Chains A and B, each alone.
Chain A
């Protein structure tokens, strides 16, 4: 193994070591030690990736790709997981949570570099198995239900994915994405099954059922891992397939378009009357998956840039909203948000800005993400999809606005203790990033450009 190869794989190695270390510390030390080990591992892995920005790609064989996209994905997974780790409450009853969290990051990092069916499957399974355990962490009825739902459906989705890969292999004789250049019936069926399997992990309708339950019942950090880290990893897999594989075009784009359109409508419609913040965010994340799927379905020249930009503005918004949700206890409702500005100004501002960004209004980063989405759809003249996006986003204004105003209305209901400093730091960072991406999007566009060939 050359030094370049080692350097390329070092983030994964560090993450694996951190996961093992966090697990080994469980019987030996307090939970803070496990958290520190996990945090150090994630930060180190992110640092190692960032050091290699612009370096030439190391030859790693077929299984793992080392390119800008993979580096973007690994850094994204590490940083977003680090954010989720911060609001992984110490109150969560088991000490294994940090280790599981690092495992999700490891799975997501594997997916980011996956250019081969084997790596793809490996990454998907690492992420899913760790998420199942995290969803069930509260050992409540709802938590177990969410985890069980996810377990059963995840098994089903993995089988579909495997069968899809097998069918594509039968026609093309290749397992790496580059070799997937089929046009026959087998490849078409395989593509459909592959999309179905990925759509489950990406929480696209009609494979979305697990998402709201998981968001409501599990700790907010687990929701962040499912809704940001693993979602972005699957988006990068889809993007890589879009960039390198030549799967049967009609199945690929119309499949993605149908899934995306369904998610935009279903996610936004079901979010409309949700009084619970995490459940609303669960539906909202379905809608956002739909927007990303539609960008990919458009096949426009700027689609890749648009997807990565969208992921970039999505992370601080969703993490900020979930962090506030975690700070307010289990499944806060609209009523619990009342008067938030008085007792917890930072949380109120962070929540409002996050929702503004998710709604796609200026001066938050989400607005520029929405511009990208509209641009690729108009560019390809996809007027029907545009109409669906407009309908979905219009519904979105309604429920985001309800949660946006709640912190400024009414009287506060409880005297909660202030958030720890780290959480406050995370919220402040989210606020800064949301506004920065909204006012000076060039910053993020330059980063995205580095990730794309």
Chain B
């Protein structure tokens, strides 16, 4: 019941924000209160959890004749991603406090609904309910980009919607095909996982699922929607896209690919690793050539999500643990960078690295924050990203050293783009040569929290790894060579 409340809370919060919007800032506080309540509820669920992998489970029939039921369950992985979603929800509201002035009610409602749908994705174990939330999150996120974005926002939003909605058909068709093979009509993932399917059938089903996941994960060549959606979205939209929406793709792959199609995943594992390695190199190299800071960070997201794909495809313990940590680390680093760049853009009206610089002289807090998160971008030891990427590389070494060398080379590329971003923004002559307001409290506190999270996970990853361990164990498909 508490799990359903966790989804209903932001859904209802969004409705309230929509209807009470008007003079003043009421809708912003409603949204913040909603996300804060979610965090409280989450803590309560985790604190009162029984022993074992699942903190809470619930099942209600939804459409009995089709065998669809509201099967929700939460383990450490879901709980950490939900915490991040709610936390980034609060941060999005704070980050858009001065940016969003029109249609504020609808904006905050869309924020709440995006989060509600992603929570649904993180909790569902019924494939059709999963697909329901999977597609439901597209609509409010589309609205966020289309209405409050910059430049050709409608085009970017349409691209985002069409890529992801079309890919969703792969998920739906594969789910129906899978259910039609069961002896009774069911979409419950635990029951479907019991089926003994031949490897070739598993591969086909996996391809259907992966279509949806890889597009959301934006692994090249499925990435074409991401650079524009991220660049043209309002700051809050970019934060949610990078911090939460991309993670749904990673989560879906992590959770369902090994669970439903273990032999199929093992069969395509080399291709998955190769695709991820190519994507990471491609994303990294393209990022190196960007002058628009936001676009640069968008391409680094492609690279990092490709590393997550490599980790999941490798299917060994280290790599999976690395992929899980990388998902969470990337949420902090990318969201923080989008927040900082958005704040900078509000002040200078440019994101062009050639027209910016010298922040360390004029805005030290900005500069320090950029320095920290650029280090996270290149996976400097001590940051959470290092833990994730190092574990992935170690895991891939156990599978195939050629791929591991490729993975290592992507880390070298990441040094190039991260230092380029750092140099362009923080060092050199102050540009534009005008007084620049440093981070205000609504920007400072979120950045501080995300910095602490990045450093704590980076310096002491053990508690997070312990939290994720049951989910990682469940995703193991390959025996160690």
Which A residues fall within an 8 A CB radius of B?
A: 341, 356, 361-363, 367-368, 371, 374-375, 378-379, 386, 390, 393-394, 397-398, 401-402, 405, 408-409, 441-442, 445, 449
Contacts and interface: CB of A to CB of B under 8 A. Distances in A.
B146 A405 contact: yes
CB-CB nearest 8 A-B residue pairs: A378-B176, A362-B136, A394-B166, A405-B146, A390-B169, A408-B147, A362-B132, A397-B165
Given A361-B165, A409-B147, A371 B128 contact: yes
Contacts of A441: 62-63
Q: Which of B64, B138, B139, B177 has the most CB of A within 10 A?
A: B139
B173 A408 contact: no
B212 interface: no
A260 B356 CA distance: 57
Given A397-B165, A405-B146, A409-B147, A445 B176 contact: no
A363 B120 CA distance: 12
Contacts of B165: 361, 394, 397
A378 B180 contact: yes
Nearest to B170: A390
A371 B158 contact: no
Contact of A378 (B63, B103, B135, B173): B173
B213 interface: no
Contacts of A449: 65
A442 B64 CA distance: 8
A374 B172 contact: yes
A374 B166 contact: no
Interface in B313-369: none
Given A361-B165, A408-B147, A386 B173 contact: yes
A378 B179 CA distance: 10
B157 A405 contact: yes
Given A390-B169, A408-B147, A363 B158 contact: no
A362 B176 contact: no
A367 B176 CA distance: 14
B245 interface: no
B158 A402 contact: yes
Contacts of A409: 146-147, 154
11 contacts: A362-B132, A362-B136, A367-B132, A368-B63, A393-B169, A398-B158, A401-B142, A401-B157, A408-B143, A408-B147, A445-B63
Contacts of A386: 173
Q: Which of A361, A390, A393, A398 has the most CB of B within 10 A?
A: A361
Nearest to B168: A361
Interface residues of B, number: 31
Given A362-B132, A408-B147, A401 B173 contact: no
Contacts of A442: 62-64
A363 B136 contact: yes
A397 B162 contact: yes
Given A374-B172, A408-B147, A445-B65, A401 B128 contact: no
A374 B133 CA distance: 17
A198 B309 CA distance: 51
Contacts of A408: 103, 106, 143, 146-147
A354 to B, nearest CB: 13
B4 to A, nearest CB: 12
A362 B106 contact: no
A379 B133 CA distance: 23
Contacts of B128: 371
A350 to B, nearest CB: 14
Interface string B122-145: 000000100011011011001100
B161 interface: yes
B192 to A, nearest CB: 15
Contacts of B65: 445, 449
Given A402-B154, A445-B63, 15 more contacts: A341-B106, A362-B135, A362-B139, A367-B135, A374-B173, A379-B180, A397-B161, A405-B146, A405-B154, A408-B146, A409-B146, A409-B147, A441-B63, A442-B64, A449-B65
Interface string B151-166: 0001001100110011
Interface of B: 62-66, 103, 106, 128, 132-133, 135-136, 138-139, 142-143, 146-147, 154, 157-158, 161-162, 165-166, 169, 172-173, 176-177, 180
Given A378-B180, A442-B63, A371 B161 contact: no
A378 B177 CA distance: 6
Given A362-B135, A371-B172, A401 B63 contact: no
Q: Which of A393, A397, A398, A441 has the most CB of B within 10 A?
A: A397
A91 to B, nearest CB: 32
Q: Which of A363, A394, A401, A408 has the most CB of B within 10 A?
A: A401
Contacts of B169: 374, 390, 393-394
A349 to B, nearest CB: 9
B383 to A, nearest CB: 37
A397 B106 CA distance: 21
Given A341-B103, A378-B180, A442-B62, A405 B162 contact: no
A420 to B, nearest CB: 23
Contact of B166 (A371, A397, A402, A405): A397
A368 B103 CA distance: 30
Contact of A361 (B64, B139, B158): B139
Nearest to A441: B63
B143 to A, nearest CB: 7
B166 A390 contact: yes
Nearest to B148: A408
A195 B66 CA distance: 31
A408 B18 CA distance: 13
A390 B208 CA distance: 13
B143 A405 contact: yes
Contact of B162 (A356, A367, A375, A398): A398
Contact of B176 (A374, A394, A397): A374
Given A378-B173, A378-B177, A442-B62, A361 B136 contact: yes
Contacts of B166: 390, 394, 397
A227 B321 CA distance: 55
Nearest to A389: B169
Nearest to B176: A378
Contacts of B133: 362
B63 A379 contact: no
Contacts of A445: 63, 65
A204 to B, nearest CB: 23
Nearest to B145: A405
A218 B158 CA distance: 31
A397 B165 CA distance: 8
A35 B172 CA distance: 46
Contacts of B154: 402, 405, 409
A401 to B, nearest CB: 6
Contacts of A341: 103, 106
A361 B64 CA distance: 21
A160 B99 CA distance: 63
B59 to A, nearest CB: 16
Nearest to A342: B103
A438 to B, nearest CB: 9
Contact of B138 (A361, A374, A378): A361
A67 to B, nearest CB: 21
A442 B70 CA distance: 13
A379 B154 CA distance: 37
Contacts of B64: 442
A351 B62 CA distance: 27
Nearest to A440: B62
Q: Which of A371, A390, A402 has the most CB of B within 10 A?
A: A371
A445 B65 CA distance: 9
